[in-house]
Structure formats: C-alpha cells, structure tokens
Amino acid sequence: MAVIKLFLTGLVAAVPIATGYVPVAITFGILVVGTGLHLLDAVLASAIVFAGATQIMAIGMYGGLSGASGPAVVQIVVAGWLLNLRHLLMSSVIAHTLAAGPAGQPRRAVRSLVAFGVTDEVFSVASLHAARGETLRPAFLLGLEFGAYAAWVGGTALGATLGEILPRDVRGALGLALYALFAALLAGQFRAAGEKRSAVPLVTAATTAAAANVLFRLVLGMGAGSAFPLAMTAGALAGWIAATWIHDTGRPR
Amino acid sequence: MITPIWVVICVALMAGTYLARALPFWFPRIDSLPPAFKRFLDGVPAAALGALILPDALTGAPPIVALTVVTVAFVLALRGTGITVIVLAAIVIAWSGLTLMAF
C-alpha cells in the first residue's frame, strides 16, 4: 500500500510538469503532421524517445532536409545523441540519491525503468524534493515520471489530431511557430539560469552556435545536416570556456 | 500509417537517449562526472537552440515576419509568459504577417 501511496504522491507532483509539457507536445504533434508524417509517427516518437528538445530538433531537421536520405538520418541521430548526453549528469545524480536511500539500491529492473523517465523537468522536481530533505523512493519517481510521460504522449496525440484538421494556410504559419518555440525554449534556459554568473555561459553557447551555423551554412555553403552538429559543439565549447573562466576568476558577479 | 525512415530515426534516437539515461543507473559506482565535462554538457541545449534558430528561421519565410515572430516569442518567454500563449501568439502573428505579405 505504501508503494501505491508513494506512486500517487509522485503523480500529484507531476502536475506542474504536465501543464508545461502539454502545449509543447501539442505543438510537436502539429509539426509532425505538418511535415507530411502521420499521427502514429508523432505518437511513436513521443512514446519511445520521450525527449522534447530532441524530438522537436529531429522533426525540424527532417522537414528542413526535405525527405530523409541515409546521411540525413545519421546527421539527425548524431545531433540528437549529442543533445541528450546531458542525461548522464541527471541520471547519475538520481542514481546516487536512490542508492543512498534507506532501502538501499533498488533492483536492476526498477532502476532501468526509472532511468527511462529521466528528463530535465523530472530531474528538477526530484532535486527539489531531495533538497527539502525528503528521501527519493523509486515508487515516487515512477509516479512523477508516469505523470510527465502521459502528458507528453497524450499531448502529442492531441496535437497530431489537430494538425490533420487544420487548414493549409495555417500550416504555413506553423513553420514559423517552430522557431518561436525554439526562441521561447532558449529564453526559458536563460531564465532558469537565474543569476548572471550561470546565464553568461549559456548566452555565450547560444550566440556562438548561432554565429557558427550562419558561417558554416551561408558563408561556407555547408549542408544543414553537417553544419548543425559542428555548430552545436562549437557553441557548447564556447559555453564551457566561459563557465570555466567565470569559475576561475569569479567574474562576472 | 507510419513512415519507416522516421521510425528508424526514432528508434536510433531512443537507443542513444536511453543509454545516456540508464548507464549511471546500471553502473552506480561510476563516480560523478568530471566538472569540466559537466560544464560542456550544461551549454549543449542552449547551443543547440541557437543553431536551430539561425539561420533557418530567417531563410524560409519573409525575414520581417520571421524576425517579428522569433523576437516576440523570445521576449515574452524571457518575461515569464507561458508557452501556450507564446505558441498561439506566434501562430497568429505569423498567419497575419504571411497573409498581409501575400497581397
């Protein structure tokens, strides 16, 4: 019974995550259908990948590359993997916290299941609970993750359904909504950083990556798929340099 | 209906993403990652978004419409507006802009 109660507590804690996920998931669903793919393609992506930024990037690249050839597939996948490497950080924190709990290390099957649902938002809420001195239990995490997952997959299905009934000229406007979504997500990153110290590396990373991509694409004439992973890596390296500089010198306050 | 090439992309994305999520759970003795690697990874999402926005946002649609949509979305989000309102506002501005440009 205690396990069910913990799961439900997790589910309730997922409500703020779910309200954030649904509109993004709806947008993703609409975009997938707008690219010429089907409702099931959208739902499948959300159900197995369960990584918002990656899925939106993938559909953006898929649409931009106009049909997917072998190299295009590799480019999308490499970019997605690079973007998702950061899950290593979040998972290692959660894994350590779980193992340090009173019940000790959960079974491998339970850990493997908890791992599937780790996202930035799940990590934030879990960290918040841990910071309040609550012990993280697997059942709580599974409830939290299930709530987030259901909202993500459900929102995608809703969006894809909407996308199929939207008139054509509205779909044209949706292409631009994709970039509005990217801009909003980027601003959200800056906001979440809070103080200037943590925001500077992010701003550096974003502007460097954007400048590098413009250089690669418009000046050097590289293809979108090969330029993107390089630009992203250049940006992250610049962010790393900025973060290290701030860490070492203590500037800027 | 499903699109086979898209399914291939999704399965491959899932495999890499799941590995990044699960490895620390399977090998908890791996101690926390080096701070330098963490600082690199922290910047990856912002870098990805930067490169996703430019130059593509400005090359497909009329640049004046695209610039307006992206700037409004960015400023609204920076001020804490919810994502639903932002996306809806973007669609309305984009649709009105594109309709006006078509005349």
Tokens of A159: 């969006």
Highest mean pLDDT among A171-185, B5-19, B31-45, B61-75: B5-19
pLDDT score, position A66: 59
Three-state secondary structure call for residue A194 = coil
pLDDT along chain A (253 residues), means of 10: 89 91 90 90 97 90 70 88 90 87 83 94 89 87 97 96 82 79 90 83 95 93 84 94 84 55
Q: For an interface test with B, which of A176, A189, A204, A218 has the most B Cβ atoms less than 10 Å from its Cβ?
A: A176
Residue A89 sits at the chain B interface (C-beta within 8 Å): yes
Domain boundaries, chain A: 2-192, 194-253
Average pLDDT rounded to a whole number, residues B21-50: 84
Q: Where are the alpha helices (DSSP H) in chain A?
A: 2-13, 15-34, 39-48, 52-64, 70-84, 87-99, 108-116, 120-131, 138-165, 168-193, 196-214, 224-249
pLDDT score, position A250: 66
Calculate the dihedral angle through the C-alpha atoms of A203, A205, A211, A213, rounding to the nearest 10 degrees. Answer: -140
- Rounded to 5 degrees, φ, ψ at B12 are -65, -40
The Cα of A81 is separated from the nearest Cα of chain B by a number of Å equal to: 6
Residue B64 sits at the chain A interface (C-beta within 8 Å): no
Instruction: Identify the band that residue B75 occupies on the pLDDT scale cut at 50, 70 and 90.
Output: very high
Q: Is A240's CB within 8 Å of B39's CB?
A: yes
The Cα of B62 is separated from the nearest Cα of chain A by a number of Å equal to: 10
Instruction: Identify the band that residue B17 occupies on the pLDDT scale cut at 50, 70 and 90.
Output: very high
pLDDT score, position B103: 75
List pLDDT tens digits, range A162-175. 988 887 777 677 77
Three-state secondary structure call for residue B78 = helix
The reply to whether omega before A102 is within 30° of 0 (cis) is no
- Chain A residues in contact with B9 (beta carbon < 8 A): 58, 62, 68, 73, 76-77
